């Protein structure tokens, strides 16, 4: 699965969720979906804006975690 | 304006149709409403006019059920029609139409008239149409949910 580590980056940049949502141009509810890993997909435009605002790389925000079944199979 | 006009007209037509079906169903049991003459003419070879009256009442109930479900679907057109409730509504409409169609088909076997056969075919086709539409709506709901969760 892909985990979104937005909380970590927000803490590093001393930004609140509300402020980030406003600067991204999305609703706090949608940002919450993203933060809680409930989102199905993320648009490149959103990722681009996130990286620009948080001054980071996509890898700083997104993390791949192998599923338990997959890692057992390997 | 134009996008809202058509659903509004459809809604009004559905209300009028429901009122007409309800009127027919109620007057079916009012003596001297004219139905006695129609049934006696229609049933000259039919053994049981009471059975026809019951049959018409049940058919009217199914028609009202379908119209009621359609009205509920129409009300969501302005807000968000792609919801699970509408999928279930189309499934219910499909089942109701198929059952009504089957009733007409059985009646065709018992007492054939061309109009009964036409009604049976129309109802069966309507049922299939509603069931196909339910499938399409189910996919649309899934797509919408995925789109809603794309940030």
A31 touches chain B (CB under 8 A): yes
A4 touches chain B (CB under 8 A): no
Report the C-alpha dihedral over residues B70, B72, B73, B79, rounded to 10 degrees.
150
pLDDT higher than 60, residue B1: no
DSSP B83: S
Residue of B nearest to A49 (CA): B151
Residue of A nearest to B142 (CA): A40
Which contacts qualify for A11-18: CB closer than 8 Å, 24 or more apart?
A13/A54, A13/A55, A15/A53, A15/A54
Q: Which two tokens stand for residue B94?
A: 């499909």
- Banded pLDDT at A72 (limits 50, 70, 90): low
- Banded pLDDT at B77 (limits 50, 70, 90): confident
Chain A partners within 8 Å of B149 (Cβ)? 33, 38-41
pLDDT (0 to 100) of residue B125: 96
pLDDT higher than 70, residue B52: yes
pLDDT higher than 90, residue B78: no
Which has more confidence, B46 or B19? B19
Q: Could you give the count of Cα atoms lying within 13 Å of A1 in the half-sphere of its Cβ?
A: 11
User: What ranges do the domains of chain B cover?
Assistant: 2-148
Task: With CA atoms as reference, report the closest residue to B134 among B79, B86, B100.
Answer: B86
The shortest C-alpha distance from B85 to chain A (Å) reads 22
- Banded pLDDT at A1 (limits 50, 70, 90): confident
User: Which phi and psi (to 5°) does residue B150 adopt?
Assistant: -95, 115
- Banded pLDDT at A71 (limits 50, 70, 90): low
pLDDT higher than 60, residue B44: no
Instruction: Name the fold adopted by A2-73.
Output: 434 Repressor (Amino-terminal Domain) (1.10.260)
Task: With CA atoms as reference, report the closest residue to A56 among A3, A1, A8.
Answer: A8
For CA atoms B80, B124, B54, B16, give the dihedral sign.
Answer: positive
Could you tell me which residues are beta bridge partners of residue A63? A3
Could you tell me which residues are beta bridge partners of residue A62? A4
Distance in angstroms (rounded) separating the CA atoms of residues B120 and B98:
9
What is the arithmetic mean of pLDDT over A37-46?
90
Task: With CA atoms as reference, report the closest residue to B19 among B68, B75, B70.
Answer: B68
User: What ranges do the domains of chain A cover?
Assistant: 2-73
pLDDT above 90 coverage of chain B, percent: 40
**B32 three-state secondary structure:** coil
pLDDT (0 to 100) of residue B112: 82
- Residue listed under structure tokens 């996130």: A50
Chain B partners within 8 Å of A35 (Cβ)? none
pLDDT higher than 60, residue A6: yes
> Which ranges of chain B would DSSP assign to H, the alpha helix?
2-27, 35-42, 49-76, 84-110, 114-148
pLDDT (0 to 100) of residue B140: 95
Which has more confidence, A72 or B15? B15
């Amino acid at each position: 699965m892909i985990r979104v580590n937005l909380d970590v980056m927000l803490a590093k940049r001393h930004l609140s969720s509300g402020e980030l949502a406003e600067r991204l141009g999305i609703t706090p509810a949608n940002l919450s979906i993203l933060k809680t890993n409930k989102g199905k997909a993320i648009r490149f435009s959103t990722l681009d804006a996130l990286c620009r605002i948080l001054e980071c790389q996509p890898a700083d925000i997104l993390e791949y975690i192998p599923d338990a079944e997959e890692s057992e199979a390997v | 304006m134009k996008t809202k006009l058509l659903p509004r007209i459809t809604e009004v037509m559905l209300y009028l149709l429901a009122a007409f079906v309800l009127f027919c169903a109620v007057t079916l049991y009012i003596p001297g409403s004219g139905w006695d003459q129609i049934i006696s003419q229609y049933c000259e070879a039919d053994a049981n006019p009471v059975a026809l009256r019951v049959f018409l009442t049940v058919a009217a109930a199914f028609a009202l059920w379908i119209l009621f479900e359609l009205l509920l679907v129409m009300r969501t057109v302005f807000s968000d029609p792609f919801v699970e409730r509408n999928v279930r509504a189309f499934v219910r409409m499909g089942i109701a139409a198929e059952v009504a169609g089957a009733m007409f088909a059985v009646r065709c076997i018992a007492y054939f008239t061309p109009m009964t056969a036409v009604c049976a075919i129309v109802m069966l086709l309507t049922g299939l149409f509603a069931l196909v539409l339910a499938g399409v709506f189910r996919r649309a709901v899934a797509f919408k949910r995925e789109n809603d969760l794309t940030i």
